[in-house]
Amino acid sequence: MNALAATNRNFKLASRLLGLDSKLEKSLLIPFREIKVECTIPKDDGTLQSYVGFRVQHDNARGPMKGGIRYHPEVDPDEVNALAQLMTWKTAVANIPYGGAKGGIGCDPAELSISELERLTRVFTQKIHDLIGTHTDVPAPDMGTGPQTMAWILDEYSKFHGYSPAVVTGKPIDLGGSLGREAATGRGVLFATEALLNEHGKGVSGQRFVIQGFGNVGSWAAQLISEKGGKVVAVSDISGAIKNSKGLDIPSLLEHSKIHKGVKGFHGADPISPNSILVEDCDVLVPAALGGVINRENANQIKAKFIVEAANHPTDPEADEILKKKGVVILPDIYANSGGVTVSYFEWVQNIQGFMWNEEKVNNELGNYMTKGFKDVKEMCKTHDCDLRMGAFTLAVNRVARATVLRGWEA
């Protein structure tokens, strides 16, 4: 089942639990706006090249739409729709005043020079500047983009609308980016994991963790978990997978990964097959890489007692059912990885106020939001007698539906 089908399925199950009107249900599923634009730029060799830029704006009932811009050669419209919708539910679970959006450009950033990427970003911004904005739609970095991309969007947008730092988040610190943003998703995963383990009378300290993915989210989660006394016994990334049942030396691994562009060859561990990473013996499994990695083929072999979804949509619905029967507790992505968008919200707030926070305040506020979020999800689980995924979806759908009705959706 693809990401869109799975997201729609979860939405419909939550909608039934809440007893939503069928017309309202349909209204909440249909995107507010889908944008597709041609972006033609001169390449460095003087030839012209055209690319397709896109933006799906899903819902704005609770506030401006929010979501990443990705540069990737294969842009699947269904996946973009699913991710835009997922952002609507994620921001609602986190209880931050946003709706969902997603977009980007169909290109391979590795094949473009820095100046070509800048020209492409500026042309894309020229095409959509009237459709994004501080109180309309606030983009952020995603796959293939980063703080520099956001800086170009900010500069190009400001030519039309005056200096507007809050039009994008994930900016460089020197242009109004927030301290703590780089570690935010990984730190949110730590706070989410702490809340889950505390609920079961445990703490992070002494628990054995396996982390799939050692990019921004996975590496920060590993670092912060190990600082709290958690034992990270296995990790993987695109270079390979490694294991040390006594616990990996995470600071040394981070240094190794930076130098060698991956975890492969780390001396303080044994190499293992990347395919076996998800079924390694551990207490907590953290998928922090791609979607759909936990499926009916491997779900029965998973030994973890808890799964914390740091990636988007890592668990297929079929695997969900198998794991539920096994008694594995899954902390869903729309709550577990919401630390990034929460700190993006803090960045937006700081930009609007023109008053920047120190890193301690950012991290403390993130902890407050993640802890409150878990309590809200658990409350819905009790009300509707459901698991954490359905608890999170009912919480999100209920908040968006209430905002939609209160604003007079039938008027």
More confident of the two residues 215 and 156 = 156
Q: Is the pLDDT of residue 192 over 90?
A: yes
Alpha helices in 213-358 (DSSP H): 216-227, 250-260, 317-326, 333-336, 339-353
More confident of the two residues 287 and 290 = 287
Is 257 annotated to bind ligand?
no
pLDDT, mean of residues 348-357: 97
pLDDT, mean of residues 339-348: 97
Structure tokens at 342: 């929460």
pLDDT, mean of residues 242-258: 93
pLDDT, mean of residues 127-154: 96
- Check residue 411 and give its pLDDT: 45
Per the CB < 8 A criterion, the answer to whether 182 and 219 are in contact is no
The rounded Cα 152 to chain-centroid distance in angstroms is 22
- Check residue 410 and give its pLDDT: 63
What kind and span of H or E run contains 377? Answer: helix 359-384
Q: Is the pLDDT of residue 75 over 80?
A: no
DSSP string, 177-241: PPTT-TTHHHHHHHHHHHHHHHHTT--STT-EEEEE--SHHHHHHHHHHHHTT-EEEEEEETTEE
Is 66 annotated to bind ligand?
yes
- Among the listed residues 12, 36, 102, 326, the single catalytic one is 102
Average pLDDT, the chain: 94
Is 2 annotated to bind ligand?
no
Is 216 annotated to bind ligand?
yes
- Residue 290: which pLDDT band, with cuts at 50, 70 and 90? confident
- Residue 300: which pLDDT band, with cuts at 50, 70 and 90? very high
Q: Is the pLDDT of residue 409 over 90?
A: no
pLDDT tens for 35-52 read 999 999 999 999 999 999
More confident of the two residues 60 and 289 = 60
pLDDT tens for 193-229 read 999 999 999 999 989 999 999 988 999 999 999 999 9
Per the CB < 8 A criterion, the answer to whether 253 and 218 are in contact is no
Which is nearest to 129 in space by CA: 108, 157, 107? 157
- Check residue 313 and give its pLDDT: 87
Structure tokens at 45: 């060799």
End-to-end CA distance of the chain: 36
pLDDT tens for 15-38 read 999 999 999 999 999 999 999 999
Is 185 annotated to bind ligand?
yes
Q: Is 102 a catalytic residue?
A: yes
Kindly report the pTM of this predicted structure: 0.93
- Check residue 80 and give its pLDDT: 85
Other C-beta atoms within 10 Å of 395: how many? 27
Q: Which domains does the chain have, with CATH numbers?
A: 32-90+99-166 (3.40.50.10860), 178-337+344-354+362-410 (3.40.50.720)
What kind and span of H or E run contains 39? Answer: strand 33-42
